[in-house]
């Protein structure tokens, strides 16, 4: 009985009709004709309501409507993900549907509502997009459907697909896009630069016969003398080098940009770099840290390695603590014994905060190739481009320029200590980081 009352709704048309009947009854106190009309209208209203009730709640009516919410196995963070709703009517008459989907609380959307009609036996699907900006588990509520007959005096509610859950992973859509472009050598289409290789900082592969167009500097004269015709050395890019993404999960990485935090941008980029490194036959590893070491994945290259990285990162959240670079240095010294490329994603908001960390960064750079990636405050940069119209505007612009200049000084100081650095807007992080990785490989810096 409780389920029945929860499924029954009175429509606005019913209350409007009832109000009209009451108006006629009020007028009927003065004119008999209005009282008779009120009785007829009230009887007709009750009759139509009973008829619609029988249509909506008749025998086997629970099976007269089927609906399903088709969710992907996982969502891609920061990208538009498609959700599909499928409906089929088994009623013998045309019904009107009002669809109310209970979206996860992370979307903060409580006004999802769609309306359309279904003819007898008709199947219809409807798709909409959602854009998650936080990693983790997203729990969907019920798929509520209110149906009306052509009379539309009452509604019946159907409930489907309760308690569905989808995991939101770092942006695997962006990962696949970069992967396809890397495989087809089309990374230049998205801003990745072509970098000229300097010298022969590559591994020896084999000795082969000379072909027209080969670089004469690669001629192997000893093999040429033995074979009595020209032979050349063939080289290939160095393989199996280790690339570690070091992700700072301290409170400085919680700054938002276009709905996502800097930490999410760093995680998405670390996945792309790891995947491209594995395509280039390197090994990819991961360390996430703040005041403690949150996770560490050794450098490897196998079919399941990318999935292992995604499983570790999809639900990691910051504890709003300060970063501990000394602890990071100790962990790397104990666990990483071969020279590796370390891509450190962090954020410095002032020159003084960067100077406090430089001794630890120097220690990391002694045995490894360290690239520090930190973020440009785009809102501050916009202020520096604005025109000033008052003394207050001049004061604000001066402070903004001071912050922007400090970022440039941080890069200068890092380079003076032999540390590579990238200052980038969050939206350009992936492209700029891929450019740096390809530069390291092309110039044999590792």
CB 243 within 8 A of CB 113: no
Whether 244 and 334 share a structural domain: yes
CB 171 within 8 A of CB 78: yes
Which tokens is 396 given?
Answer: 């604000």
pLDDT for position 205? 66
Whether 338 and 436 share a structural domain: yes
pLDDT for position 368? 92
Whether 8 and 87 share a structural domain: no
Question: Got the DSSP string for 163-178?
Answer: SEEEEEES-HHHHHHH
pLDDT for position 198? 47
Whether 147 and 109 share a structural domain: yes
Angle at 429 between CA 358 and CA 266, to 5 degrees: 70
CB 144 within 8 A of CB 88: no
Q: Which of 169, 188, 222 is the last residue of a domain?
A: 169
Which tokens is 197 given?
Answer: 């290789």
Whether 252 and 381 share a structural domain: yes
Beta-carbon count within 10 A of 36 CB:
12
Report the chain (446 residues): mean pLDDT per 10 consecutive residues. Answer: 61 78 78 79 84 79 84 88 90 87 86 86 89 88 87 83 84 74 53 50 70 80 85 72 92 84 90 87 91 91 85 81 90 90 90 88 91 87 81 84 87 90 88 85 78
Whether 297 and 374 share a structural domain: yes
Q: Are strands 81-89 and 65-70 parallel, antiparallel or unpaired?
A: antiparallel
Whether 307 and 178 share a structural domain: yes
Q: How many domains does the chain fold into?
A: 4
pLDDT for position 327? 92
140: domain range?
Answer: 62-169
Whether 178 and 190 share a structural domain: yes
Q: Tally the residues of the chain.
A: 446
pLDDT for position 245? 94
Whether 165 and 224 share a structural domain: no
Whether 409 and 262 share a structural domain: yes
Whether 228 and 294 share a structural domain: no
E strand spans, 38-80: 65-70, 74-76
Q: What is the CA radius of gyration of the chain?
A: 33
CATH assignment of the domain containing 100: 2.60.40.10
Which tokens is 126 given?
Answer: 């409807």
Closest CA to 100 of 144, 49, 40: 144
Q: What is the b/e burial string over 329-348, where b = at least 16 CB atoms within 10 angstroms of the residue's CB?
A: bebbeeebeeebbbbbbbbb
Whether 319 and 371 share a structural domain: yes
Distance CA 257, CA 378 (A): 9
Q: Are strands 65-70 and 154-160 parallel, antiparallel or unpaired?
A: unpaired
Q: What is the DSSP letter of 150?
A: S
pLDDT for position 192? 54
Distance CA 161, CA 146 (A): 15
Q: What is the pTM of this model?
A: 0.73
């Amino acid at each position: 009985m409780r389920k029945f009352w929860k499924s029954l709704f009175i429509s606005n048309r019913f209350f409007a009709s009832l109000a009209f009947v009451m108006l006629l009854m009020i007028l009927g106190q003065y004119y008999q004709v209005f009282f008779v009309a009120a009785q007829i209208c009230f009887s007709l209203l009750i009759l139509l309501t009973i008829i619609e009730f029988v249509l909506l709640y008749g025998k086997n009516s629970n099976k007269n409507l089927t609906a399903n919410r088709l969710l992907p196995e996982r969502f891609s963070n920061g990208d538009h993900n498609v959700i599909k709703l499928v409906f089929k009517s088994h009623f013998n008459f045309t019904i009107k549907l009002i669809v109310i989907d209970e979206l996860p609380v992370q979307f903060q959307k409580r006004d999802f509502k769609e309306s359309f009609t279904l003819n007898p036996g008709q199947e219809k699907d409807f798709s909409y997009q959602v854009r998650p900006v936080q990693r983790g588990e997203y729990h969907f509520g019920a798929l509520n459907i209110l149906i009306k007959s052509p009379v539309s005096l009452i509604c019946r509610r159907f409930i489907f697909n309760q308690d569905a859950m989808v995991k939101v992973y770092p942006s695997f859509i962006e990962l696949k896009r970069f992967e396809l472009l890397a495989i087809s050598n089309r990374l230049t289409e998205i801003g990745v630069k072509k970098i000229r290789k300097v010298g022969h900082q590559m591994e020896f592969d084999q000795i082969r016969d000379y072909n027209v167009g080969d670089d004469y500097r690669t001629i192997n004269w000893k093999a040429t003398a033995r074979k009595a015709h020209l032979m050349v050395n063939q080289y290939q890019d160095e393989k199996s080098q280790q690339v570690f993404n070091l992700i700072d999960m301290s409170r400085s990485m919680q700054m938002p940009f276009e709905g996502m935090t800097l930490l999410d941008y760093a995680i998405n980029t670390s996945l792309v770099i790891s995947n491209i490194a594995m395509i280039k036959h390197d090994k990819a590893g991961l360390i996430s840290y703040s005041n403690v070491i949150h996770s560490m994945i050794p450098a490897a290259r196998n079919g399941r390695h990318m999935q292992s990285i995604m499983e570790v990162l999809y639900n990691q959240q910051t504890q709003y603590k300060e970063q501990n670079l000394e602890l990071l240095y100790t962990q790397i010294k104990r666990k990483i014994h071969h020279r590796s490329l370390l891509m450190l994603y962090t954020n410095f908001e002032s020159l003084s905060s960067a100077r406090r960390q430089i001794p630890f960064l120097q220690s990391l750079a002694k045995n490894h190739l360290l690239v520090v990636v930190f973020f440009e405050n785009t809102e501050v940069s916009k202020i520096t481009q604005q025109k000033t119209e008052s003394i207050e505007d001049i004061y604000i612009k001066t402070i903004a320029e001071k912050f922007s200049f400090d970022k440039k000084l941080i890069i200068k100081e890092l380079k003076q200590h032999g540390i590579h650095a990238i200052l980038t807007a969050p939206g350009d992080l992936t492209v700029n980081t891929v450019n740096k990785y390809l530069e390291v490989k092309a110039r044999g810096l590792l």
